[in-house]
């Protein structure tokens, strides 16, 4: 059977500043999904990148006294570095300033134009540069000083100029049909409902070009106009598959299986993007899934408050895997979440060092100390042993079900429920006593524990790739037996193998001052 393809993307960030933890979180979560799909046998293409054009970039650059290209180059370098810093397995990094992207965007524009969906007129209305979004008067709130704010709290400016328009109004019914036919096109449900009511409220044609700045992609045939940055940005997802070149090595990856984005940009992805694609006659992505926002101890992060969290610093302070685990376990994927140093230390010490780390360390050091490092063969299994193994065997199906809704937190919760049971099993069987009274039972309990650890480590690889690889090394699991095909009862851990000397994988968090003593 040919390998099933899976194409997943993050949003492409504006490189108008350094990456913050919101960007890091989106990358980690998308990476965990991509890794899960690879381990589950899919041919995965995972894309991330940066969204370099537009007025926001140009204005930031002007304020800093550099060119927009310099600003984009400087910050894109940081965004790229975030990949290895967080152990992201993205297969490509796209920049909207690349030549390949200009070609695709221009071709898409021409297709929409040929479909009769683009016309020249005059725009008069409100625009928020910070959101790079047009707002209707009815969406704005009037401040005491007479200024108007967008629903996101950003200021808006009145814009009046010649502009190309996209016939968005024509797609209202088609979009509603799409949400109806494909109920999981937008998720989670709260976002789907928000989008349906927005579209039902009526769609106006969309201004898709501007003439008052030049940092962007020129409109084909009328370079005085620069394309609206969202037309340009959204198209990155097809650019990376080489469209319109049908012979591009990645051509078969379009349509994308999932766009993972933050909840603030759902309108662009679930209303504008499918409309552009329908107009151009391209297949639609299968799903748009929104994660929530991260807050610092419950407060919105902002540069002016000075509470923006740096993902590089966090990975350095706690370790990449502990940080990945924390965010994916603590924040139900799709909902908002909060970060605090106390919460991360609590998860590190309780879930990782105690629950998983101790179980591995205690059981594997018994093998090392008492059995010369040879993993025992199991004797006859008791009902309790069989029940323990069954729990572990059931994990993959549960994980797949949770993954169908991108419920990463549930995969981890279910896995840690198995770890809790394994701890009860281990302690309840008192292997330290069995060692003398019943060497065969001693061996069986250690083997069952090792087998549960093997499955747990395989399932948790997408979230903590390095730590799980080390645990699988300690369990003597060969590199080619670490995919989901090796899970369940099909490929039990082999008794009789000599295991490497165990070492701690999940350290307790120690405050830097204390460790310096
Ligand atoms: O929106 N918590 O770029 P961006 C969680 N260029 N996620 C957050 C967050 C937070 N505090 N702050 C931002 C853009 N994000 C566009 C995207 S896609 C074709 C173009 C998320 O740099 C945000 O929701 O403002 C978005 O998904 C991503 O970070 C990039 O945000």
Nearest residue CA, atom 21 of ligand 1?
Answer: 262
Residue-wise pLDDT for 414-450, tens only, equals 999 999 999 999 999 999 999 999 999 999 999 999 9
- Closest atom of ligand 1 to 264 CA is 24
Burial of 496: CB neighbours in 10 Å, binned 0-12, 13-18, 19+? exposed
Quote the CA–CA distance of 414 and 392 in Å, as a whole number: 10
β-bridge mates for residue 162, sequence order? 122
The whole model's pTM is what? 0.97
Nearest residue CA, atom 14 of ligand 1?
Answer: 13
Nearest residue CA, atom 22 of ligand 1?
Answer: 13
Ligand 1 probe mutation, 12, 13, 303, most atoms within 8 A of CB: 13
Residues 60/64/65/66 CA torsion (nearest 10 deg): -70
Distance 24 CA to ligand 1 centre (A): 10
Nearest residue CA, atom 12 of ligand 1?
Answer: 22
- Closest atom of ligand 1 to 50 CA is 6
- H/E element holding 125? strand 118-128
Distance 116 CA to ligand 1 centre (A): 32
Fold of 118-209: 2.170.220
Q: What is the three-state SS of 285-331?
A: CCCEEEECCEEECCECCCCCCCCCCCHHHHHHHHCHHHHHHHHHHHC
Residues 84/85/88/93 CA torsion (nearest 10 deg): -60
Quick one: 5-111+210-291 is in which CATH superfamily? HUPs (3.40.50.620)
- Is residue 303 over pLDDT 80? no
- Is residue 1 over pLDDT 60? yes
Q: Confirm if 235 and 254 have CB atoms less than 8 A apart.
A: no
Residues 239/240/241/244 CA torsion (nearest 10 deg): 20
Q: How confident is the model at residue 515 (pLDDT cuts 50, 70, 90)?
A: low
Task: Say whether 271 sits in a helix, a strand or coil.
Answer: helix
Distance 262 CA to ligand 1 centre (A): 6
Q: How confident is the model at residue 510 (pLDDT cuts 50, 70, 90)?
A: confident
Distance 207 CA to ligand 1 centre (A): 22
Distance 208 CA to ligand 1 centre (A): 21
Which residue is it, tokens 């590089």? 312
9 phi and psi, to 5 degrees?
-135, 155
Give the residue-averaged pLDDT of 199-205.
Answer: 96
The CATH class that applies to domain 350-498 reads mainly alpha
Q: What does DSSP say about strands 206-207 and 218-219: parallel, antiparallel, or unpaired?
A: unpaired
Residue-wise pLDDT for 161-196, tens only, equals 999 999 999 999 999 999 999 999 999 999 999 999
- How many residues are given for the chain? 517
Give the HSE-up count for residue 304: Cα atoms under 13 Å, Cβ half-sphere. Answer: 0
pLDDT at 308: 87
Quote the CA–CA distance of 253 and 273 in Å, as a whole number: 17
- Closest atom of ligand 1 to 51 CA is 6
Residues with CB under 6 A from ligand 1: 11-14, 22-23, 25-26, 51, 233-234, 236, 261-262, 264-265, 293-294, 301
Nearest residue CA, atom 30 of ligand 1?
Answer: 13
For the chain, the average pLDDT equals 96
Q: Confirm if 69 and 97 have CB atoms less than 8 A apart.
A: yes
Contacts with 513 (C-beta within 8 Å, 6 or more apart), sequence order: none
Range list for CATH 2.170.220.10 in the chain = 118-209
Residue-wise pLDDT for 460-497, tens only, equals 999 999 999 999 999 999 999 999 999 987 789 999 99
Ligand 1 probe mutation, 264, 267, 294, 314, most atoms within 8 A of CB: 264
311 phi and psi, to 5 degrees?
-60, -30
Range list for CATH 1.10.730.10 in the chain = 350-498
Contacts with 52 (C-beta within 8 Å, 6 or more apart), sequence order: 14, 15, 68, 72, 76, 95, 96, 97
Which residue is it, tokens 């008067």? 137
pLDDT at 514: 56
- Closest atom of ligand 1 to 11 CA is 18
- Is residue 516 over pLDDT 70? no
How distant, in Å, are the alpha carbons of 224, 242, 341, 349 from that of 318?
Answer: 50, 39, 9, 11
Distance 482 CA to ligand 1 centre (A): 33
Task: Say whether 74 sits in a helix, a strand or coil.
Answer: helix
- Closest atom of ligand 1 to 295 CA is 11
Distance 293 CA to ligand 1 centre (A): 9
Range list for CATH 3.40.50.620 in the chain = 5-111+210-291
Distance 13 CA to ligand 1 centre (A): 6
């Amino acid at each position: 059977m040919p390998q099933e393809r899976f194409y997943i993307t993050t949003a492409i960030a504006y490189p108008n500043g350094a990456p913050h933890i919101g960007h890091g979180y989106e990358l980690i979560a998308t990476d965990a999904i991509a890794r899960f799909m690879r381990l589950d046998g899919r041919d995965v293409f995972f894309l991330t990148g940066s969204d370099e054009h537009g007025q926001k970039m140009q204005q930031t650059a002007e304020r800093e006294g550099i060119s927009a290209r310099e600003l984009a180059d400087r910050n894109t370098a940081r965004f790229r570095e975030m990949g290895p810093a967080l152990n992201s397995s993205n297969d490509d990094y796209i920049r909207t300033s690349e030549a390949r992207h200009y070609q695709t965007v221009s071709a898409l524009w021409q297709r929409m134009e040929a479909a009769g969906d683009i016309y020249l007129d005059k725009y008069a209305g409100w625009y928020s540069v910070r959101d790079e979004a047009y707002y209707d008067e009815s969406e704005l709130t009037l401040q005491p000083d007479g200024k108007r704010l967008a629903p996101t709290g950003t200021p808006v400016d009145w814009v009046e100029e010649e502009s190309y328009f996209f016939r968005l109004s024509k797609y209202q019914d088609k979009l509603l049909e799409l949400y109806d036919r494909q109920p999981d096109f937008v998720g989670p449900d709260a976002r789907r409902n928000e989008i349906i009511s927005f579209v039902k409220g009526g769609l106006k044609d969309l201004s898709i070009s501007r003439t008052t700045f030049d940092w962007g992609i020129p409109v084909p045939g009328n370079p005085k106009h620069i394309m609206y940055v969202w037309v340009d940005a959204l198209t990155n997802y097809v650019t990376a598959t080489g469209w319109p070149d049908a012979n591009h090595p990645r051509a078969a990856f379009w349509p994308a299986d999932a766009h993972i984005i933050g909840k603030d940009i759902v309108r662009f992805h679930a209303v504008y993007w499918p409309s552009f694609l329908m107009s151009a006659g391209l297949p639609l992505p299968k799903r748009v899934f929104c994660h929530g926002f991260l807050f610092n101890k419950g407060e919105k992060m902002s540069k002016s408050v000075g509470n923006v969290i740096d993902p590089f610093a966090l990975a350095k302070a706690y370790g990449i895997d502990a940080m990945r685990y924390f965010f994916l376990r603590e924040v139900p994927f799709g909902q908002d979440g909060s970060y605090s140093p106390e919460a991360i230390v609590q998860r590190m010490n309780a879930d990782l060092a105690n629950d998983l780390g101790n179980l591995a360390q205690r059981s594997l050091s018994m093998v090392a100390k008492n059995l010369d490092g040879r993993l025992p063969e199991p004797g006859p299994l008791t009902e309790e042993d069989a029940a323990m193994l069954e729990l572990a065997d059931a994990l993959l199906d549960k994980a797949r079900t949770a993954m169908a809704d991108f419920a990463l937190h549930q995969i981890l919760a279910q896995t840690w429920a198995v770890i809790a049971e394994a701890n009860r099993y281990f302690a309840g069987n008192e292997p330290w006593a069995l060692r003398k009274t019943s060497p065969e039972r001693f061996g069986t309990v250690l083997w069952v524990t090792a087998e549960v650890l093997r499955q747990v480590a395989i399932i948790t690889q997408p979230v903590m790739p390095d730590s799980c690889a080390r645990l699988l090394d300690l369990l003597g699991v060969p590199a080619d037996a670490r995919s989901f095909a090796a899970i369940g009862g099909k490929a039990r851990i082999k008794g009789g193998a000599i295991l490497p000397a165990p070492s701690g994988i999940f350290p307790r968090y120690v405050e830097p001052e204390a460790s310096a003593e």
